[in-house]
Amino acid sequence: MTTANQSIKPVTAKINQDEHIEIGGCDLVSLAEKYGTPLYVFDEETIRTIARQYKTAFSSYPKISMLYASKAFMTKAIVRILDEEGFGFDMVSGGEIYTAHTAGADMKKCLFNGNNKSYDELQMAVELGVGLISVDNFLELALLNNVAKSNNKTIDILLRVTPGIECHTHEYIQTGHLDSKFGFDLTQVDEAIELILEQYDNLNLVGLHAHIGSQIFETSVYYDEVEVLLKEISRIKEKFNIELTHINLGGGLGIKYVEEDCPPSINEIADKIITSVKENAAKYGVQEPEIHIEPGRSIIGTSGVTLYTVGSSKQVPKGKKYVAVDGGMADNPRPSLYQALYTAEVANRPNDKATETVTIAGRFCESGDILIHNAKMPELNEGDILCFYNTGAYGYSMSSNYNRVLKPAAVLVNNSQSDIIIDKESYEHLVSLDRIPDRLKKQL
């Protein structure tokens, strides 16, 4: 069975009777008219479908917890949907904790993670009752123990470790290899445990946490990751006579951005993980642990598309043809940052045959602001609406106000209804945090 991460388009995408692309029962051309472009559009049914596919895929394993990696895209509405689906949240900042809390997430199901959490953020996590904290380094062990003590609490923690597994993804989004800024090296785990057992009375170590990378297409790396963690748990049991009960495997499952991408299904990943847990728990003589997973991209990526309006074009004599759209690297930095590939279609005439190869350029003042190189498209005219698929993950969440361009709105579509989930910025918002020192104020 295929799962929704294996398709370029959201599950509800189709061509309607006006020969326009429609998602969630909403005509994309009408959405562009109503809300303006650029516009992020999120399909609720795709999010819920994938969330349920995750739950079904792991349903044979009794002790499983799903946390959504908020960094992929977090707003209060997304928290509501995934909270309803039974997910907790993997959070990496005070901002993500605040969003989860104010949107009514079940904080006991949440995890606070990150390589340089501040005292204030740890304090906030402890006060708001975040269920687990993944401790990344020695400084944080001491800080968190102080915070826990001053709140009169004992905090359940995981130790974030680097399992030494390399996967074939972009270097910037690999995290599990040995030379990484994240987590304890396996050779430092004993020292951390000694400190917890001997000095840090307000910390209760329950398990290990790792994340091996993002946009992963191999399933074997998950088998290996589980093995490394269970072997380590067995070693810890032997040496310290404590048995850790949780493993958190991070996120990473890939999605299909372009035809050539062949990510595995959620079921294939789940089967690999469960098989590895059973085989390696037996092999290393430890109990089968509670498994936590933290998918981000594969939950939200496929549900999101971005709409742009085509503006100017330029044919370089004897060179390329550039077609510019009204957004670019500020609403989607992934092409310029990671050479990420995307698929685009013309929302107002998706049936037109591709007749030319063009470079789709953004509007920002940098030559590198190119969204797609060598896109095969029908001849594009000013006013055409382009639909970029798979922009749901790490698009809005990494967006900026570069060139002081306003961040676009995001709408959620479902059953032919569209609702704003993030307002478009206004020029007033844009300058709202600016301050002019008195001595520079213009005398009127």
Amino acid at 174: Q
Q: Is 48 in the site for ligand LLP (CB under 6 A)?
A: no
Burial 146-184 (b: 16+ CB within 10 A, else e): ebbeeeeeebebbbbbbbbbebebeeebbbbeeebebbb
Q: 192 or 358, CB closer to ligand LLP? A: 192
The site that binds ligand LLP (CB under 6 A) totals a number of residues, namely: 22
Q: What is the DSSP letter of 422?
A: E
Q: 38 or 296, CB closer to ligand LLP? A: 296
Separation of alpha carbons 413 and 315, rounded Å: 37
- Interface pick for ligand LLP out of 50, 69, 347, 422 (rule CB under 6 A): 69
Separation of alpha carbons 210 and 166, rounded Å: 12
Residue 63 beta carbon to ligand LLP: minimum distance, rounded to whole angstroms: 19
Q: Strands of 21-23's sheet, edge to edge?
A: 14-15, 21-23, 26-27
Q: Tokens 């589980």 appear where? A: 226
| Alpha helices, DSSP H, located in 184-219 | 189-198
Q: 32 or 158, CB closer to ligand LLP? A: 158
Q: Are 391 and 362 in contact (CB under 8 A)?
A: no
String of contacts with ligand LLP for each residue 82-101, x by CB under 6 A: --------x-----------
Q: 163 or 252, CB closer to ligand LLP? A: 252
- Interface pick for ligand LLP out of 46, 65, 219, 298 (rule CB under 6 A): 298
Residue nearest to ligand LLP (CB): 251
Burial 213-249 (b: 16+ CB within 10 A, else e): bbbbbbbebbbbbbbbbbbbbbebbeeeeeebebbbb
Separation of alpha carbons 173 and 166, rounded Å: 11
Residue 215 beta carbon to ligand LLP: minimum distance, rounded to whole angstroms: 6
Q: 299 or 346, CB closer to ligand LLP? A: 299
Amino acid at 136: D
Stretch touching ligand LLP by CB under 6 A, among 22-30, 44-52, 272-280, 295-303: 295-303
- Interface pick for ligand LLP out of 10, 88, 296, 362 (rule CB under 6 A): 296
Say if residue 315 is exposed, middle or buried (CB neighbours under 10 Å; 0-12, 13-18, 19+).
Answer: exposed
- Interface pick for ligand LLP out of 24, 183, 250, 327 (rule CB under 6 A): 250
Residue 356 beta carbon to ligand LLP: minimum distance, rounded to whole angstroms: 29
User: Per the structure block, which two tokens stand in for 248?
Assistant: 């958190």
Residues 158-177 close enough to bind ligand LLP by CB under 6 A: 173, 175
Residue 96 beta carbon to ligand LLP: minimum distance, rounded to whole angstroms: 12
Q: 284 or 338, CB closer to ligand LLP? A: 338
Closest to 155 (Cα-Cα) out of 114, 118, 112: 112
Q: Tokens 């050479």 appear where? A: 339
Q: 10 or 250, CB closer to ligand LLP? A: 250
Residue 113 beta carbon to ligand LLP: minimum distance, rounded to whole angstroms: 5
Q: What is the DSSP letter of 57?
A: H
Residue 249 beta carbon to ligand LLP: minimum distance, rounded to whole angstroms: 9
Q: Are 158 and 135 in contact (CB under 8 A)?
A: yes
Residues 334-353 close enough to bind ligand LLP by CB under 6 A: 334, 338
Separation of alpha carbons 5 and 254, rounded Å: 7
- Judge whether 387 counts as a catalytic residue: no
Residue 27 beta carbon to ligand LLP: minimum distance, rounded to whole angstroms: 29
Residue 299 beta carbon to ligand LLP: minimum distance, rounded to whole angstroms: 7
Stretch touching ligand LLP by CB under 6 A, among 234-242, 244-252, 260-268, 323-331: 244-252
Q: What amino acid positions are annotated as catalytic residues?
A: 365
- The contact set with ligand LLP (CB under 6 A) reads 69, 72, 90, 113, 173, 175, 211, 214-215, 250-253, 294-298, 334, 338, 393-394
